[in-house]
């Protein structure tokens, strides 16, 4: 057995993990490894290989953790693609790993899917007659332990739920990223996990819309019949209402997707009314507003500067209450005919956390082929992505400033 010596300027006890090809040890001391701190070679962050070990140390300031909750087929993956694009760089599954991994890694972000914490595989759930939404089919102790470890900058060996086979595959090694997104059915269900989140989002898709989206995808891409899709939605409904839907009360931002009110008795579900519900008083998060912060506004932007075909576009903005919390709500009903004209709408929105004029429009044009690009789902997902970048930068700045302040205080 090799003895590894790592020199670092930071204490390794809480910020590093060590893994052999078969196991990850969180924290220290592992008996074959000697650590010196402070040492000769300064390193704030990185993975060190000292055969057969990989030693991973946290970024200064730790990992920012974002939670994204929604039912299956409600646009989480689409949202994730918009979010990672805001940070630049492509998000890909871990290189050389399990081809059925659910994880997506980019330079800044790592997105892990909480389906990986299913404690019962497809066959176990069938035998015990529980759905994947039931907390009894999920390992919240492990979820908490591993999200906490990653937040503290410690790498983990995370299980993989294989959606192709329905089985639990051997774990994959996940290094602590700058931003960790945990997406899935239950990011806000367990209070211990919820308390680790720096920001949380809930995608609230009304039943009518969820049904239309699921039919589109599961019939076209997964070969399911209309009847089996209906049956699966019905079978999941009681557990969805009991365990998934209540999480929206904890979310810092909710994107609610409803049928349009612009077409009387619409049953096509093509035109959508989308609300962005933003909690007030959340640290590092200033809600977006239309025209005048705190006022109640109704705006039809169609006319000379925005082309609108039937049934048009209507925006609304104002203060409200949501599960007893003070919120600001921005609403868009209808869809854009020409995305390049979105700049007109963008110029009337404030607190967008853009880095330059027109960044929202640029992002929307860049991904015009993503679902929801012509309506409020794409617009609000893009805006939330920009707010998360801003939140991350503020947290980083506050951590960087902290030691300076401490010095000043003396
Ligand atoms: N904003 C949108 N507008 C219209 N359709 C959408 C939108 N978002 C998602 N969809 C539809 O819903 C389907 C599911 O979207 P997506 O894969 O992003 O959801 P998901 O929550 O990640 O699903 P799962 O958890 O089952 O993998 C897409 O194939 C698309 O047809
Ligand atoms: O709700 C889900 C999460 O997206 C899935 O239904 C759950 O993960 C089980 O997956 P599968 O049906 O592939 O076994």
Residue nearest to atom 1 of ligand 1 (CA): 372
β-strands 199-205, 253-259 pairing = parallel
For the stretch 60-113, pLDDT in tens is 457 999 999 999 889 999 999 999 999 987 889 999 999 999 999 999 999 999
Ligand 2 atom having least distance to the Cα of 185? 3
Q: Is residue 47 helix, strand or coil? A: strand
Report the sign of the C-alpha dihedral through residues 72, 78, 84, 90, in that order: positive
Ligand 1 atom having least distance to the Cα of 257? 1
Ligand minimally distant from the alpha carbon of residue 74: 1
* Of 185-194, 214-223, 300-309, highest mean pLDDT: 185-194
Q: For the chain, state the CA radius of gyration.
A: 23
Burial-class residue 126 by CB neighbours within 10 Å (0-12, 13-18, 19+): exposed
ipTM of the complex: 0.95
CA of 214 to the centre of ligand 1 (A): 8
Asked whether 11 and 152 are in contact (CB, 8 A), the reply is no
Joined together, the tokens standing for residue 203 give 């995608």
For the stretch 123-168, pLDDT in tens is 999 999 999 999 999 999 999 999 999 998 889 999 999 999 999 9
Q: Please give the Cα distance from 308 to 302 (Å, whole number).
A: 6
Q: Please give the Cα distance from 55 to 6 (Å, whole number).
A: 9
Ligand 1 contacts CB of residue 70 (under 6 A): yes
- Contacts of residue 266, defined as CB under 8 A and 6 or more positions apart, other chains included, come to 259, 260
For the stretch 323-378, pLDDT in tens is 999 999 999 999 999 999 999 999 999 999 999 999 999 999 999 999 999 999 99
Joined together, the tokens standing for residue 239 give 């557990």
Q: Please give the Cα distance from 170 to 167 (Å, whole number).
A: 10
Q: For the whole prediction, is pTM greater than 0.80?
A: yes
Ligand 1 contacts CB of residue 69 (under 6 A): no
Is 90 exceeded by the pLDDT of residue 242?
A: yes
Q: Please give the Cα distance from 295 to 59 (Å, whole number).
A: 41
CA of 85 to the centre of ligand 1 (A): 17
CA of 119 to the centre of ligand 2 (A): 12
Q: What domains sit in the chain, N to C, each tagged with a CATH number?
A: 64-201 (3.40.50.300), 252-399 (no CATH)
Joined together, the tokens standing for residue 83 give 């979010």
Site of tokens 């640290």: 283
């Amino acid at each position: 057995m090799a003895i590894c010596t790592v020199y670092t300027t930071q204490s390794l006890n809480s910020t590093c993990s060590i893994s052999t090809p078969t196991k990850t040890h969180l924290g220290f001391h592992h008996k074959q490894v000697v650590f010196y701190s402070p040492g000769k070679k300064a390193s704030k962050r990185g993975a060190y290989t000292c055969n057969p070990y990989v030693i991973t140390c946290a970024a200064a300031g730790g990992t920012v953790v974002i939670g994204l909750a929604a039912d299956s087929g409600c646009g989480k993956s689409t949202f994730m693609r918009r979010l990672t694009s805001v940070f630049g760089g492509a998000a890909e599954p871990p290189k050389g790993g399990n081809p059925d991994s659910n994880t997506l890694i980019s330079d800044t972000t790592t997105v892990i899917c909480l389906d990986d914490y299913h404690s019962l595989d497809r066959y176990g759930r069938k035998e015990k007659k529980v759905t994947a939404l039931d907390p009894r089919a999920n390992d919240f102790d492990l979820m908490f332990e591993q999200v906490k470890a990653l937040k503290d900058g410690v790498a983990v060996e995370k299980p993989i739920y294989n959606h192709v086979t329905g089985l639990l595959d051997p774990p994959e090694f996940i290094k602590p990223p700058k931003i960790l997104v945990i997406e899935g059915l239950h990011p806000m269900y367990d209070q211990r996990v919820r308390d680790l989140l720096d920001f949380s989002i809930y995608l609230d898709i009304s039943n009518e819309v969820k049904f239309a989206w699921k039919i589109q995808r599961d019939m076209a891409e997964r070969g399911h019949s209309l009847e089996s899709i209906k049956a699966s939605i019905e079978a999941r409904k009681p557990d969805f209402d009991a365990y998934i839907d209540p999480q929206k009360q904890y979310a810092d931002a909710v994107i609610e997707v409803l049928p349009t009110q612009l077409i009387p008795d619409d049953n096509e579900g093509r035109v959508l009314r989308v609300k962005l519900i933003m909690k007030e008083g959340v640290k590092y998060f200033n809600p977006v507003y239309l025209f005048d912060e705190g006022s109640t506004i109704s705006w039809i932007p169609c006319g000379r500067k925005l082309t609108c075909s039937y049934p048009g576009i209507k925006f609304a903005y104002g203060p409200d209450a949501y599960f007893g919390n003070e919120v600001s709500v921005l609403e868009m009903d209808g869809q854009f005919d020409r995305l390049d004209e979105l700049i007109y709408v963008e110029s009337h929105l404030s607190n967008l956390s853009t880095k330059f004029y027109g960044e929202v429009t640029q992002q929307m044009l860049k991904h015009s082929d993503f679902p929801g690009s012509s309506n409020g789902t794409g617009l609000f997902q893009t805006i939330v992505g920009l707010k998360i970048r801003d939140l991350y930068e503020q947290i980083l700045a506050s951590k960087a400033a902290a030691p300076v302040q401490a010095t000043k205080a003396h």
